[in-house]
Structure 1
Amino acid sequence: MSMMITPPAYPVHELFAAVRDAIWEVQHQIQAPDALVAGSFLTAMSIACQGNVDVVIPTGLERPCSLYLAMFGQSGERKTTVDNLVCASVYEHDKQYASANVDALAQYEATMRMWQAADAALQRKLNKALQEGTDLEQYRDELVAHARLQPRKPVPKRIIHQNITERPFLEALHGDGKSIAILSDEGEIVLKGGAMARPGVLNKSWDGAATLTLDRADAHVHATNPRVTISFMVQEEVFQGFWNKRGRTARGSGQMARYLVAWPESTVGFRRMTLEDHTWVHLPSFHERISELLVMADKRLESGEPRAKLEFSKEAKELWVDSQNWIEFQMRPGNIYSGIKDFASKALEIAGRIAAVLHYFGDLKDPISRDTLQRALHIAWWHLDEFNRLFGDVNCVPQLDRDVHYLIQHLFDHYWSQGYGRASWNKVRTHGSVRDQERFEAAMKELERQGVVQTGSERGWRGKGKRYIYLNPHYFQPALTA
């Protein structure tokens, strides 16, 4: 993965006003990176919409509106706080499921005891007939009918799953049209879950496969038309461990290419605490809409009503064609997306999914307009460039050069441009992404060699006091005025 270039601001302004204002409100209150906050909102919206609608993209294919998201950030980015705030309605819906699960389990146990009593009585009847030499064939129909009545233990009903293996994953989707999410603010839980080791299953879920099956001696599971959202926030070291072990498979199988990835600039160390009251003006309306759509999805599933199909307007289809032709050209050898053909080839479909989510969540009239698709494209293009930044050909740049570039950017953004001519050595190391001690020291040594910085203590260049990084004005001032 590469951190050579700091990503631009997330295009929050492209979201419709109700969502946009709620994102800005959370970002202002929590002071977490913009892409992490926006990613949580897209996650909640995907979960709420995926059980209600599908999208017919201009190629004629009917696809889910489900999204996969992978967001990166260091420890202390307040990922947990953001997740709990934004997805509160989804968690609350799961609490309501938990109560229903208790009742369903009690009903199952009562029914099973009655079935077992009938089974025991039938077995006694067979034993008696066998002792008397009576033909047992006369009981076949009764045995078959009884076997068909054996109750199936209910799978606990809930939306959010974290550390889940393949079998529970498919059991949660058993039936027709089930909708779940693999979601965690601690990505290690998700990445180490067994389902992540089966990219083929997750790929089929993303594609909206007609049927996912699990046939074993003790289990026969059939999930028809499942809908799945995956979203996790993960620290660099944790993801790097997963990448070292499974990265080749994740990339080669196309699994990683289905994710909207984001690694925004850290805000740790630059947040300002205030005593102002945290009054939520816009977030409650967002939560109400999420709850409304989750209830609608439950009713739709119970009634057997199919999901609605969203299509694009004629003008939106024309924009789609222009965008497809442009991105296809950029995948040619030597062009900007030639190193990430896997993601680039899916980027337009992902944009279509985002457009469907924006359209349905905003309760807009059909069909999906050109304006909505344009907004979705701007969001998808941001993630396309982010995927290129993290996984594209830029990764051929040596690690030392990447670390040097990142430190220069970090020192400029968080110190020089804020009016500071020096920075704490420990703060820069612990609050930036170059946190490995050896890599950090090697990069700082290179910066000193190039004359970009000097290092010393507050007691003098040879003292033993607190260590600082002093910025060279002749290097940073031209960058500020350029």
Structure 2
Amino acid sequence: MSYRTSLRRAISAYDSGAHRPAFDLQEVPCLDQPPRSSKATSPPAEIEKLPLFLPLPPAEPYPIQELGPVLGDAAAAIARKVQTPDSIAAQAVLAAASLAAQAHADVLMPYGQTRPLSLYLVTVAASGDRKSTADNEALWPIRRREEAMHSIFALEHQAWCIAHAAWSAERKKIEADRKLGFDDRKFALATLGPEPEPALRPVLTSAEPTFEGLVKAWPGMPAALGVFTAEGGQFTGGHGMAQENRLRTAAGFSILWDGQPVTRLRALDGVTILRGRRLAMHLMVQPDAAAEFLADPVLRDQGLLSRVLVAAPNSIAGTRRYRMPSPDDDAPLRVYRARILSLLEAPSPISVDRAQGLQPRELRMTLEAQDLWREFYDHVEEQCGPAGELRNVRDFAAKVAEHAGRIAGVLTIVDDVNASEISATTIGRAITLADWYVAEASRLQRAARTDPKLLRAQALLDWLRSHSANEIEFRDVLRLGPAPTRTKDAAEAALAILKAHGWIDEPTGRPRRIQLLGDETS
């Protein structure tokens, strides 16, 4: 009954002289109060909590034995010894093998073009997942080779200094000799020969090179290099990946992945042309830094991300009770170290003219291997259409068959450095590995696990849950919260996401406090 109707009935009853009102006085609200509902008021409904991410299905087991007896057994031994997920150990081993093999051969694809054996890999793992320890095990032969190169370099550099001093003095003598005519001077300079080339720097890997710095220094370094770091944030957050440099850096590293010559023209340095160069890459990145890198629209549109093989395993922290290393793991590690070291020590097919770089031979696929490769290519292509399962990772899926060819080439060279063709068995193993990588890319994309804002909000939610108190002061979030949310802007953004998803509330009053609503999992 409305307020106006109740008032009219009361006036009418009063005028008629009735002593009992014809209505319940409580039906007439006070003038300064809103009308009451005739129905009982229900308590406010609890805000529904929305998950920050879609449920992330567990990663498929990495097909570690498909890496072959040398790499697969070594990766399994590292995983057991270090107590790290198989995919972390496998990524580290495969990247080291790519660095060692890329100088020796290119793979001839069934469509008639050659591709380097260079692989770009990114491993996503949090601090404490022992990615650095696994990487140290896998890079042992590379570090040993760099130590040997350093010892040789010291002797070669001393010899070069002497030769260069003698050459310079002799050239000055020829140029200053007034008794020589034009033709005699030309003959004397030609007889003297070109300026002695300095010894190559004893460097195989770098953690955070800029593309400009790499191109400038590369003429004095080996033609096959690697970008390897267990702290990938150094690279993804470094100068080369700053906003103003990101596109140029991505384009440069894409050119190197393709095996194309690099041409650089600068006012001070002149023209630099690098031919026959090979670059492998393995970045081990924490989840937040990886999210920004893998979700970057510039890097995706440019095509660098489609050239990257990503693994983001589930952490096994909390299950790694201490155990003594098993002697059984020593044998496969010794075999792996010896094989990778032998590839690094083997003479590279480099041109007499150092400027021409490497001249790797072609690895052809057998007819059976080509048939398997084409079947895999068609299988993936059918799923890249508008209704296909791989439509959301179409950019990566379009290159996954090429990834399979490169992996097959690496596995072939590891098995036999002098091999001339890729067998059907090896291409089958490589296809299984490539299929795992495309499934992993699809898994991560479906769950939006590459959105850095959501990852920061999830980290803050996990931190709030770890406290027994239901309310936490905002200043404690800035002071003690997760590192990515310890600035005011980042904390505000993360709290806004949590509030919009129904996970927190902010009671009024000072100091500012954050209240966690419930403890259900997201």
Residue aligning to 2:262 = 212
Q: Does the C-alpha gap of structure 1 residues 276 and 201 become closer, same or farther in structure 2, counting only changes over 3 Å?
A: closer
Report the Cα offset of residue 470 of structure 1.
Answer: 7.7
CA–CA distance in 1 between the matches of 2:427 and 2:277?
Answer: 25
Say which of 212, 231, 237 aligns to 1:186. 231
Q: 1:402–1:13: structure 2 CA closer, same or farther, 3 Å change rule?
A: farther
CA deviation profile, 1:64-120 (whole Å, cap 9, x unmatched): 111110111111221211111111001111111112222232233223333443455
Instruction: Write the distance in 2 (CA, Å) between the matches of 1:237 and 1:299.
Output: 39
> Which 5+ residue runs of structure 2 have no aligned equivalent?
1-51, 469-481, 505-515
TM-score (norm 1): 0.74
- CA 1:377–1:434: 2 relative to 1, 3 Å: farther
User: Normalised by the size of structure 2, how large is the TM-score?
Assistant: 0.69
Q: Mean alpha-carbon deviation: is it higher for 96-105 or for 188-197?
A: 188-197
Q: Share of identical aligned residues, percent?
A: 25
User: What residue in structure 1 maps to residue 60 of structure 2?
Assistant: 8
- Work out the CA distance in 2 between the residues paired with 1:185 and 1:443: 31
Which among 289, 292, 305 is matched to residue 238 of structure 1? 289
Cα deviation for residue 32 of structure 1 reads 1.3
Moved more, 230-239 or 50-59: 230-239
> Which residue does 1:48 correspond to in 2?
100
- Give the distance between the partners of 1:13 and 1:407, measured in 2 at CA: 38
Encode CA deviations 1:135-157: one digit per residue, 9 max, x unaligned.
Answer: 99778737975997344544413
Aligned pair partner of 1:158 in 173, 197, 203: 203
- Work out which of the residue numbers 309, 318, 321 in structure 2 matches 1:260: 309
Letter in 2 for 1:174: P
Gaps in structure 1 of 5+ consecutive residues? 130-134, 411-422, 427-432, 450-466, 476-482
The letter for the 1-side match of 2:62 is Y
Residue number among 90, 103, 116 corresponding to 2:155 in the alignment: 103
Structure 1 residues 393-402 or 197-206, which shifts more? 393-402
Contact 1:176-1:225 within 8 A present in 2 as well = no
Choose which of 324, 328, 333 in structure 2 pairs with 1:283: 333
Seen in structure 2, the aligned counterparts of structure 1 residues 104 and 248 have a Cα distance that, compared at 3 Å, is farther
Q: Verify the 8 A CA contact 2:259 2:277 in the aligned structure 1.
A: yes
In the alignment, the residues of structure 2 paired with residue 375 and residue 293 of structure 1 have an alpha-carbon distance, to the nearest angstrom, of 21
Paired positions, count: 425
Q: What SS does the corresponding residue of 2:282 show, helix, strand or coil?
A: strand
Partner of 1:378: 432
CA separation of 1:17 and 1:142: change in aligned 2, threshold 3 A: closer
What root-mean-square deviation, in Å, do the aligned CA atoms of Structure 1 and Structure 2 show? 4.2
For the Cα contact (< 8 Å) 2:292–2:451, is it kept in 1?
Answer: no
**Residue 259 and residue 142 in structure 1: after superposition, are their counterparts in 2 closer, same or farther (change >3 A)?**
same
1:44 Cα deviation after fit: 1.1
Q: Distance in 2 between matches of 1:8 and 1:434?
A: 30
Q: 1:218 to 1:145 in 2, by over 3 A?
A: farther
* Alpha-carbon distance in 1 for matches of 2:410, 2:361: 12
SS at match of 2:331: coil
Corresponding residue of 2:366: 313
Q: CA deviation at 1:370?
A: 2.6
Match runs of 1:467-482 below 5 Å: none
* Per-residue deviation, 1:190: 2.7
Given that residues 199 and 255 in structure 1 are in contact (C-alpha distance below 8 angstroms), is that contact kept between their aligned partners in structure 2?
Answer: yes
- Give the match for residue 26 of structure 2: none
Q: Aligned residue for 1:203?
A: 254
Distance, in Å, in 2 between the alignment partners of 1:151 and 1:214 is: 24
SS in 1 for 2:121: strand
Q: How has the CA–CA distance of structure 1 residues 3 and 234 changed in structure 2, closer, same or farther, with 3 Å as cutoff?
A: farther
More deviation in 182-191 or 45-54? Answer: 182-191
2:392 alignment counterpart: 339
In structure 1, C-alpha distance between the alignment counterparts of 2:67 and 2:291, rounded to whole Å: 31
**Alpha-carbon distance in structure 2 between the residues aligned to 1:471 and 1:379:** 37
Larger Rg: 2
Give the partner amino acid of 1:205: L
| Secondary structure of residue in 2 paired with 1:333 | coil
Measure how far apart 1:471 and its partner are. Answer: 7.7
Counterpart of 2:21?
Answer: none
CA distance in 2, matches of 1:92, 1:240: 33
Matched position secondary structure for 2:399:
helix
Determine the structure 2 residue equivalent to 1:226: 277
- Cα 1:103–1:377, aligned 2, differ >3 Å: closer, same or farther? same
Q: Secondary structure at the match of 2:289?
A: helix
Partner of 2:475: none
Q: Distance in 1 between matches of 2:483 and 2:157?
A: 50
User: 1:361 aligns to what SS in structure 2?
Assistant: helix
Q: What does residue 301 of structure 1 align with?
A: 350
- Contact 1:182/1:229 (<8 A) preserved: yes
Structure 2 residue matching 1:71: 3-state secondary structure: strand
Q: Determine if contact 2:124/2:287 at 8 Å carries over to the other structure.
A: yes
**116-125 vs 381-390, greater mean Cα deviation:** 116-125
Which string of whole-angstrom CA distances, capped at 9 and with x for unpartnered residues, describes residues 278-312 of structure 1?
A: 6522111011110111122x354388995332222
Post-superposition offset of 1:168? 4.1
Moved more, 301-310 or 82-91: 301-310
Q: Find the aligned partners of 2:455 and 2:137 in 1 and give their Cα distance.
A: 38
Q: Once the 2 structures are TM-superposed, how far is the Cα of residue 338 of structure 1 from its aligned partner?
A: 1.4
Greater Cα shift, 115-124 or 264-273: 115-124
Distance 2:202 2:337 in 1: 21
Contact preservation (8 Å) 2:311, 2:437: yes
Secondary structure of the equivalent of 1:16? helix
Whether the 8 Å CA contact 1:212–1:223 is kept in 2: the answer is yes
- Which residue of structure 2 lines up, in the alignment, with residue 57 of structure 1? 109
- For the residues of structure 1 that align with 2:452 and 2:70, how far apart are their CA atoms? 43
More helix by share: 1
Distance 1:111 1:397 in 2: 57
Which of 269, 276, 289 matches 2:318? 269
